[in-house]
Structure 1
Amino acid sequence: MRKKFSFLLVLVLALSTFLAACSGKDTSSTTPKDEKDGDKPAAEAKEQVLNLIAGSEIPSMDSTLATDSVSFNVMNNVYEGLYRLDQKNEPTLGMAAEEPQVSADGKTYTFKLRDAKWSNGDSVTAQDFVFSWRRAVDPATAAEYAYMLYDVKGAEEINSGKAKPDTLGIKAIDDKTLEITLKNNIPYFKSLLSFATFFPENEKFVKEQGKNYALEANTAVYNGPFTLSEWKHEQSFQLKKNPTYWDSAAVKLETINFNIVKDTATGVNLYETKKADRVGLTAEFVDKYKADPNFGTSEDTAVYFLRLNEKNKVLANRDARKAFDMAWDKQAFVDVILNNGSKPANYLVPGSFTSGPDGKDFRETNGDLSKYDVEEAKKLWAKAKKDAGFDKVTLEMLNYDDDSSAKIGQYIKEQLETNLEGLTITLKPQPFKQKLDLESKGNYDFSFAGWGPDYQDPMTFIDMFVTDGAHNQMGYSNPKYDKLVADAKGPLLSDLDARWKALLDAEKILMDDAAISPMYQRGVAFLQREYVKGIVEHPFGGDFGYKWAHIE
């Protein structure tokens, strides 16, 4: 969710707002990094209130169950794990009081926790982490993100029902000492610990609330820089500075107001009337405001794509999927429909995200893995029609319900219907939460979707599409792909060059199978008031950090 997209003073465009998981991202708050400003003291004369626009209701405030960028962005600011990303996007100590003691084999971490409080006054303890992690991998919880913990000893066995949750490799030595045992020595463990699935949960409070836990602002407790103080579903929500936060002296903002707005023109009007401090811009507004001194753009690590559900008999055909991907013009799409700095994507793993042992960017090494070729698409489509036994077919495109996504859907429909004879596409716009649910259940033909990285490694994109993976959601399966992913998570961790090659090869297989049709790597255009300073945009995990933000 750029993650972290990275995801603040803005209108969240659906085309740049919604990501499943993610880590995904909520561009409703996309802001460029401003580390110098982030170090300045806030001016006392200016009220420390930030007014933003969100493009969606918060789907979940339960850190164990959340799967989307909107939720993760809020959680990143009201909860805190052992680490959080700092102003330079490095993992810095959060609930951990000091760097851990690590065993010689790199598999056992012992953390000392700081004297931190929940917003109800309870102490944050090692048992809060044990409870949360066990809850996440317990199959009874049915957490889609349980696989994120599979690097912890016993997690996969527990989640598959072969072991009990109390066998997980996490132990509270005492209230302030936490021991974690990993299955393998993994290079990205610190960045994982800053992600929401690894946050602690107040066991007593969660059990008291039962099924109501985290459904309202007052049915959750918070240990981060802010609390969720008000939540008017489908209308607005508000964050307030958390007086019990261990580092509250560093937090300058007193209030962050989010209004939920799905129409770009309405968001621009709120900005113009000074009811919003930032707004994201769609193509037509970019041309209008690009000379404005408060206009800006930022790059992102979120990648959007069409999910092609292989439960559909047409899309189960590889030639049909390849035709789908080759039949629409991605360059014209980003130039005309988006016009916000986004780049056409012919890949899954974004550029400028992570580098290999050789120092080269992943994207630079693998390059483009698909192309726009209408004539070849027509040949493949004709072959698919013959092999699959159809002449005409109607497919439904699952979409978000905002105005920007409507334009995207119309573009895809026009391109594919024009270039693939006999194809008719119907559009099915849905509210964000309902769309996620339909995808999770596989109740769609193909969908407009996106993914923002959860931690800084290509695996955060690659393992999404393993057979029966929680976020596969489209029936894709390739044993060679699965083996490469399994090796990169296991035996190849001791040979980083070979592991990197396995990840590169896995992406090539995915694209050769046309499991997805990549669309674009997101860029964001926006207007932001000159007095807003210090918002940190993260490349992975929760999209934005407001801890150091202030009104100057």
Structure 2
Amino acid sequence: MMKNKKWLGFMFLAIFTLVLSGCNFSSSNKKEDEPKKEDNGKEGGEKVDQVLNLSEPSDIPTLDSTKAHDAIAFNVLNNVNEGLYRQNQDNDSVLALAEKHEMSDDEMVHTFTLKDTKWSNGDPVTAADFEYAWKRVMKDNGAYNYMIVTAGVKNAEAIMNGEMDAEELGIKATGDKTLEVTLESPNPLFKTLLAFATFLPQNQKFVEKLGDQYALEADNILANGPFKLVNWTQEQGWEMVKNEDYWDAENVKLEKVNVFVVKDPSSGINLYETGKIDRVKLTSALVDQYKEKEDFKNVKAAGTVFLRFNHNNPALKNVNLRKAVNMAIDREGLTDVILKDGSSPIYGVVAESFYFSPDKVDYRELNGDFNKGTPAEAKEYWEKALAEIGQKEVKVSLNIADTDEMKKVAEFLQAQLEDNLPGFKLEIKAVPFKQRLEIEKAIKYDLSLSTWGPDYRDPMTYLDMWVKGSSANRMDYYNPKLDALVTEARGETDLSKRYKLLLNIEKIFLEDDVAVAPLYQRGSSVLLNNKVKGLVDHPTGADTSYQWAYIEE
């Protein structure tokens, strides 16, 4: 049996290597038999191929910025497209396609002057491209239309509520290179939000020509950012090359970025060790084996993992049952024994260590833990819930993405809930990541194991997703008190008052309603090729920028 397993593993790796070769995806490692080239004008120096090879656990669902709603798509869009602002190496929002940003005295009218740039098909990028894309988000009820509401763009909320037409959104091109955006009120988050993918421009003629095929293949998307997407093989990977027409191309050192879809962690580590990829995320089983190596790195992230409850489910809509589920889970055991990747337990929806009050106090410290209890306390709430719903047992299913991390977490949750809540039965249903999202959007699940990557640097990115009608809600939760506080916080310019509102929103959501079960704040244990320099990981918005990365000699 052991010989057979080794032989099968060897064959899988060989087949995967052939797949990589077939995609013309090359490694950043220099082959010994390749001729030496001059390096940056240095006579006799060897020039290292500026090729970065990475992996993702799933394919891209769509690259339409008005519809994208996942970390993988946002990551690609961040590197092939660019908006008025983008995140820099310090994670600050800085001017990008806009060379100038002016505000009226009341800070409600913002005028942007664009740089002279062009799309990868040669068309100029114009102010009309921004007006078209933002209005399209609202017209098509895009996944992140609430981001435009959060930005405070005039009439956005009324449009989202069906009270006004998308054409009435407070954005208009006043010239080819001049864009005017009007807000409902001054908004301290506006500049920060503009670096997010929802605010990217789109070429109207190109989009409408392709119709429902837009952004589903490499040839069906235009680039205006540091890189161009030139190859996308479904469920295998994609390839980006340097965009020579990018306005800051002289500072982009990488010539190519290859990303492979690798769902199996053991395949990922094999590809890393054989030089096929330059970075790999380690599973808990591999952390101890590699943690002493020079290329091992542990990174705390701002992303969270939590359980969604379908609030229409006859059993799960019971608040005591949801509290029992929260208290029945040993989060420390999950992060320290099962994951072992730098993830940490969390008992709130806002992550720790990234969001601070005007007095520089961590949001998580200020609001503390919610629904933290013992198995005995969980059982008390469980028995109370069963009496209230008139049942002796509860059978539900758990919707998860078919990645190694999610499978391990789901199995742990299944054991915890069935052991600590007598009569609780949990069936695990693993599906591809894209399908997990579609099931959530349709609210055709009982429980769903969800992830959330913050969109911008403010607690609101974790809080306004729960308002009625938000595409991120995905569980039919609604509390008018929460919605009212979100609206109030969006318009509050006194930062201390605003922060108190943000704290109260989470209290309503978790203390009063126990609406979800937060599980852990993500961390990553990774191996990173020591030759890779300048790769920037962002705690919010898109995960990574390749713009400043390079391969060292």
Shift in Å, 1:163: 2.0
Q: Summarize the alignment of residues 210-359 of structure 1 with structure 2, pairs less than 5 Å apart.
A: 210-359=211-360
Mapped partners of 2:136, 2:196: distance in 1 = 16
> What is the TM-score normalised by the length of structure 1?
0.90
The answer to whether structure 1 residue 538 and structure 2 residue 538 are counterparts is yes
State whether structure 2 residue 210 is matched by structure 1 residue 206: no
What residue is the counterpart of 2:26 in the other structure?
none
> For the Cα contact (< 8 Å) 1:281–1:527, is it kept in 2?
yes
Aligned residue number for residue 477 of structure 1: 478
Give the letter aligned to residue 518 of structure 1. Answer: P
Query: In the TM superposition, what whole-angstrom CA distance separates every residue of 1:389-428 from its partner, at most 9, and x where no partner exists?
Result: 1112211011111222211111000000000011110000
What secondary structure, in the 3-state scheme, does the structure 2 residue paired with 1:66 have? coil
**SS of equivalent residue, structure 1 residue 467:** coil
Q: Could you give the per-residue CA deviations for residues 75-110 of structure 1, whole angstroms, max 9, x where no partner exists?
A: 000000001111111112111012x11111111111
User: CA separation in 1, counterparts of 2:417 and 2:300?
Assistant: 28
3-state SS in 1 of match to 2:144: helix
* Structure 1 residue aligned with 2:363: 362
Are positions 1:114 and 2:128 aligned together?
A: no
Q: Which amino acid aligns with 2:93?
A: P
> Aligned AA for 1:453?
P
1:94 is the counterpart of 2:96: yes
Note the C-alpha offset of 1:44.
6.6
Alignment gaps of 5+ in structure 1 = 1-40
Picking from 40, 45, 68, the partner of 1:66 is 68
Tell me the equivalent position of 1:386.
387
One-letter identity of the residue aligned with 1:260: V
Alignment of structure 1 residues 171-186 onto 2, 5 Å: 171-186=172-187
The whole-number CA distance in structure 1 between the counterparts of 2:382 and 2:369 is 22
Q: Deviations over 1:220-263 (max 9, x none)?
A: 11100001110000111111111111111111101111110111
CA contact (8 A) 2:81 2:225 kept: yes
Identity of aligned residues (%): 47
The one-letter code sitting in structure 2 at the alignment partner of 1:74 is: V
Q: Single out whichever of 100-109 and 411-420 deviates more from structure 2.
A: 100-109
Give the deviation of 1:456 after TM superposition: 1.3
- Superposed CA RMSD: 1.3
Is residue 329–residue 372 contact of structure 1 (8 Å, CA) maintained in 2? no
- What are the superposed Cα offsets for residues 127-176 of structure 1, whole Å, 9 maximum, x if unpaired? 000000111111xx131211111110011222333222222111111101
Cα distance between partner residues in 2 of 1:60 and 1:458: 27
2:49 counterpart of 1:47: yes
Shift in Å, 1:204:
1.2
Closer, same or farther: CA 93–155 of 1 in aligned 2, 3 Å: same
CA distance in 1, matches of 2:80, 2:349: 30
In the alignment, which residue of structure 2 is the partner of 1:126? 127
Deviations 1:245-290 (A, max 9, x none): 1111111101111110111111001011111111100111001111
> How much does 1:479 deviate?
2.2
Aligned residues of 1:81 and 1:199 also touching (Cα < 8 A): yes
Given residue 142 of structure 1, which amino acid in structure 2 is its aligned partner? N
Could you tell me how far apart the structure 1 residues matched to 2:114 and 2:186 are?
22
Deviation at 1:469, TM superposition (A): 2.3
Which of the two has higher C-alpha Rg? 2
Correspondence 1:78 to 2:80: yes
The residue number in structure 1 matching 2:24 is none
Alignment partner of 1:154 is 2:155:
yes
Moved over 6 A (4+): 41-44
* 2:406 aligned partner: 405
Report the equivalent of 2:509. 510
Does residue 396 (structure 1) correspond to residue 367 (structure 2)? The answer is no
Q: Counterpart of 1:111 in structure 2: which amino acid?
A: F
Looking at structure 2, the residues matched to 465 and 160 of structure 1 have their Cα atoms a distance apart, in angstroms, of 15
Local SS of the residue matching 2:314: coil
Q: In structure 2, how many angstroms separate the alpha carbons of the residues matched to 1:152 and 1:469?
A: 16
- 2-side partners of 1:214 and 1:412: how far apart? 37
Partner residue of 1:105? Answer: 106
CA contact (8 A) 1:330 1:372 kept: no
Shift of 1:72: 0.3
Given that 1:264 and 1:404 are in contact with CA atoms closer than 8 Å, whether structure 2 keeps it comes out as no
Structure 1: distance between partners of 2:189 and 2:354: 14
Show the counterpart of 1:57.
59
Paired residue for 1:420? 421
Q: Output the CA distance in 1 between the equivalents of 2:449 and 2:475.
A: 13
| One-letter amino acid of the counterpart of residue 407, structure 2 | A
Counterpart contact for 1:121–1:244, Cα < 8 Å? no
The CA distance in 1 between the partners of 2:464 and 2:208, in whole Å, is: 32
Query: Unaligned regions of 5+ residues in structure 2, if any?
Result: 1-39
Aligned residue identity for 2:549: A
Q: Which residue of 1 aligns with 2:25?
A: none
Amino acid corresponding to residue 73 of structure 1 in structure 2: N
CA–CA separation in structure 1 for the residues paired with 2:102 and 2:431: 48
Q: Distance in 1 between matches of 2:111 and 2:286?
A: 52
Q: Deviations over 1:40-60 (max 9, x none)?
A: x99971100011111100011
Q: Is the 8 A contact 2:510 2:516 kept in 1?
A: yes
**Paired amino acid for 1:183:** E
Larger CA deviation: 448-457 vs 314-323 = 448-457
Q: Distance in 2 between matches of 1:423 and 1:165?
A: 46
Q: Is the 8 A contact 1:441 1:473 kept in 2?
A: yes
The letter for the 1-side match of 2:69 is T
Question: In the alignment, is the contact (CA less than 8 A) between 1:112 and 1:178 conserved in 2?
Answer: yes
**Whole-Å Cα distance in 1 between the matches of residues 292 and 162 of structure 2?**
58
Paired residues in the alignment total 507
Cα distance in 2, alignment partners of residues 44 and 80 from structure 1: 33
**SS where residue 494 of structure 1 aligns?**
coil
Report the equivalent of 1:143. Answer: 142
Match of 1:14 in 2: none
Structure of greater relative contact order (alpha carbons < 8 Å, 6+ residues apart): 1
CA-CA distance at 1:364 after TM superposition? 1.8
Q: Which residue of 2 aligns with 1:36?
A: none
Letter in 1 for 2:374: D
Whether the 8 Å CA contact 2:187–2:493 is kept in 1: the answer is: no
Query: What residue is the counterpart of 2:551 in the other structure?
Result: 551
Taking the TM superposition and a 5 Å limit, the aligned residue runs for 1:519-530 are 519-530=519-530
